[in-house]
Structure 1
Amino acid sequence: MRGVAAEHLDADLSGSPLWNPDLAPTPLSRRTWSTYNIAALWIGMAVVITTYTLASGLMQQGMTWYQALFTILLGNVIVLLPMILNAHAGTKYGISFPVLCRASFGVRGANVAAMLRAIVACGWFGIQTWIGALALDALMNAAWSGWSQIGIHTALSFAIFWGIQVWIIL
């Protein structure tokens, strides 16, 4: 297939403000994930401390363990459908979320969608940092009896846990 469209695909886009290596499609040779890898990722996202916290909260409100488990399973299955639809183009064509959003929202609108996704990610980072800080606070209190006497021990735990996470990320 060597028409105008194919020649256009071979064009050098390195000077374009709309292209950078992070937005380029992942070549087929680097797309090595199988169905197993994607299923393992989904299960890994479902089996996290926030899920355990949700289950304990549901049981505290009066649900039995199997009702809480079914509720969480149902919620994960409901969320799975939009996740699969959102990921289909990425897994099939090797394009990232911002590139996929350009088709629906345009170049500038894709920035809005990406920022909304980033805000949600920041929220989840905060929730998980708070839960980790509570665990660190409990560990510090068990290891050092004077820890709970510090007036801002929970805030210190949050700052320490946040710092550890940022250090790992960077």
Structure 2
Amino acid sequence: MSKRGRGRSSGVKFRISLGLPVGAVINCADNTGAKNLYIISVKGIKGWLNRLSTAGVGDMVMATVKKGKRELRKMVHPAASYRRPGAKRWCVYFRDNAGVIVSNKGEMKGSAITGPVAKESADLWPLIVHCAGSSHMAGSSHISIPLGSLKFVGINSLALASLETCEL
């Protein structure tokens, strides 16, 4: 996949599961004033007849604001998805879908992000990570995010080690 359709993302996008189809409503976790984003298309995805294009963590999507400030609604904005509930094989995964509104160059329109950012998205969008409080990859050995935004599925040795080093 060429980088032409993803704005100014850097790095290599690895194969991850796609879970945000066209028509999905995700939370907007920046301070632009938008509350919900409605995905209308995925950048860089060419379609197949009668198949909905889907986005994953780190993809740039085109979205409209369903709830939020009046000047943001009824307009199409590029957005980057950065948080999605993970598969059951991970020991830690996020509770909700979330994204932020970005410019066409990939720079955030807001100045802060609420909640953690997935490590897969942090590698692709370095401009977004600077505004985030923390980034997290499921199964990592050190977690520095609030436990309220995570859900534990299975406890293994990595999860126990990360619980012991968790900062609140």
Q: Which category describes the TM-score, using the shorter chain as reference length?
A: under 0.3
Higher Rg of the two aligned structures: 1
State the TM-score, normalizing by the size of structure 2. Answer: 0.23
State the TM-score, normalizing by the size of structure 1. Answer: 0.23
Identify, as 1 or 2, the structure richer in helix: 1
